[in-house]
Structure 1
Amino acid sequence: MTQSTLGDTSGTTPSAKSSSRNRSPFRANLSKADYERAFDILEQCSGAACLPDFKERAVEAISEHFALRHVSFFAGATFHTVFEDSAPLTAGKTAKMLPEYQDRWARYDIFGTPAAMRQLVSSGVSSLDELQAMGQLPAAADAYVRYFLSSTWRMQTAAALRLELSAGHTALLGMFDPEPGKIGASEAATLRLLSQQMSAMARGLPASKPQAALARLSVRQRQVVRLVADGLSNAQIAEILSLAEDSVKKYVTRILTTTGCQSRMELALLARAQRI
């Protein structure tokens, strides 16, 4: 965990900084079981080949290891646009909550308040319990909690985990449960550790499965893709690469299957976007 995760220690001596880190509740609350849970989640997410795959693994892992039944994954180009994600990944009741949320409540989300944003940017995690403990919530956020989360959907636990994605994009993994207190001090501390490590994974992932598939193509397949992107026919590609035209056709068919592209045009656009 970085120093920023543990709080501001500016103006203290090196020994005082060390002492401050040792006293931090984010570290002090982590037990062996907490670290094991974090490692299990990271291992579950580590095999993701692209962002969509990572989203699915992250939601499943968080739900399983924190016993949270309702989890969502929103992403956006900036922190503020995360809440406007038109096609987030949802699990449990968050799928049923989504239409009302998008239509009425997204702009009032408690995790978009200044206090929550400060927590999410500085430590990667914010929870409803922590925000309520700080004092009175803004009126709109309080209405969101009272009427949307509590009265309509009976959610007593709510928390958000912030992740950094590629190209400077941001994600918020929302966690909800009808049982109160599901995100306590040790859970929040574990999630703060996960925020950094999962962000490191997510930042290096391509945004789509076809992009991930392009990265796994052989040298010869990538040569074919580049020529397809240049608009050449199978006959022209065969002449340039000294291959039989039938071999080029087989290459193109296999590449389309591997990347999930439906046509040469789609493959060409993908290759140009990725500068392959």
Structure 2
Amino acid sequence: MPDAIIRSPRGPRPLPDGEPMSAADYRRLVGVLESVDTAADLPEFRERLLLALQSWFGYAGVAVLHGDTLAAAIEEGCGILGGYAPAFLAEYAARWRDLDPFRTERAYQRLLAEGVVTLEELDPSGDYAERFLRPHGITDKAGMVVDGGPAGVIYVGIAIRDTARVPARDLAVLRVLRRHLAPLAIDRLTRHRERLAARADWRLTPREWDVAALAAQGLTNQQIAARLFVGVDTVKKHLTRVLAETGSATRTELAARWHRQRRPQ
């Protein structure tokens, strides 16, 4: 009986010469995508992305921020951080925030043009790294932007501690990853904008929206602080403003008002 499959003399297509990514790198790429592709909304998407980058790449610190523009995403800090010590973040906010090479117009232009940029490319003198990062054990950083066009932007910042620089193979994977993340990010960003539009009469800041969403899910102040990587006092301040703006006397009332609003399809 003849074979059902016509045999081809050719085997699998080989990787091109100089391919910067190994089979293991492609597995990491797929692992991250599998972690985020079923996220129900933007908060879950960014949390899964953060955890996947820590798990599959072993990054010491990760930030996943979002906004209407790249500058808004980075400067307003709406999103989550993981792996950073509170004391480090406090020193950053008090002394180094305005000196961060990633918080400059030049950095925004390069990120939007190139997609992935390293600290060395933005700070060739190494002054910021030598004076602030390395004393805290961080040896290098990189930024990645996922541009969702009219839907908004997601910015991912990573910090490493075990090698002198972000490995070239990691950068290659991140450049491919951002392209595959784009349609997923656009979908979640669009749904997020629709959700905010459904509550257009609530005049909240991006961070207050985060606190409201988590409080409506039943999280305690301590849990919200851990999720957003901020202090409990900061959560209390934001929640007070949220309750006042939404006309809610209690968290239970806030949750009821939140869930009565139209959910995007």
- What's the TM-score, normalizing by structure 2? 0.62
1:256-271 equivalences under 5 Å are 262=254, 265-267=257-259, 270-271=261-262
Deviation at 1:147, TM superposition (A): 2.2
Tell me the equivalent position of 1:77: 68
Amino acid corresponding to residue 184 of structure 1 in structure 2: P
In the alignment, is residue 207 of structure 1 matched against residue 192 of structure 2?
yes
1:94-130 per-position Cα deviation (integer Å, ceiling 9, x unaligned): 5543333333333322223455434421231111244
Inter-partner Cα distance in structure 1 for 2:152 and 2:87: 26
Q: What percentage of residue pairs aligned between the two structures are identical? A: 24
Inter-partner Cα distance in structure 1 for 2:38 and 2:87: 29
In the alignment, is residue 185 of structure 1 matched against residue 185 of structure 2?
no
Q: 1:263 to 1:31 in 2, by over 3 A?
A: closer
Q: How much is the aligned-residue C-alpha RMSD, in angstroms?
A: 3.3
Amino acid corresponding to residue 133 of structure 2 in structure 1: L
Q: 1:207 to 1:102 in 2, by over 3 A?
A: farther
Tell me the equivalent position of 2:224: none
Inter-partner Cα distance in structure 1 for 2:39 and 2:133: 31
1:219-238 equivalences under 5 Å are none
Aligned residue among 11, 23, 47 for 1:32: 23
Structure 2: tracts of 5 or more residues without a match: 1-15, 199-251
In the alignment, is residue 148 of structure 1 matched against residue 139 of structure 2?
no
Kept in 1: contact 2:195–2:264 (CA 8 A) = no
Structure 1: tracts of 5 or more residues without a match: 1-21, 215-259
Kept in 2: contact 1:157–1:176 (CA 8 A) = yes
Tell me the equivalent position of 2:36: 45
Kept in 1: contact 2:28–2:56 (CA 8 A) = yes
Aligned residue among 41, 46, 56 for 1:55: 46
Inter-partner Cα distance in structure 1 for 2:195 and 2:81: 23
In the alignment, is residue 198 of structure 1 matched against residue 189 of structure 2?
no
SS in 1 for 2:158: strand
More helix per residue: 1
Amino acid corresponding to residue 32 of structure 1 in structure 2: A
1:172-217 per-position Cα deviation (integer Å, ceiling 9, x unaligned): 2111122224521111010001111112211101228x949x9xxx
Inter-partner Cα distance in structure 2 for 1:172 and 1:162: 5
Corresponding residue pairs, total: 194
Inter-partner Cα distance in structure 1 for 2:39 and 2:98: 31
In the alignment, is residue 125 of structure 1 matched against residue 109 of structure 2?
no
Q: 1:175 to 1:58 in 2, by over 3 A?
A: same
1:147-182 per-position Cα deviation (integer Å, ceiling 9, x unaligned): 22122x221021111123474422221111222245
Deviation at 1:34, TM superposition (A): 1.5
SS in 2 for 1:110: coil
Inter-partner Cα distance in structure 1 for 2:60 and 2:157: 11
SS in 1 for 2:142: strand
1:40-81 per-position Cα deviation (integer Å, ceiling 9, x unaligned): 110111111111001111011111111112111222222222
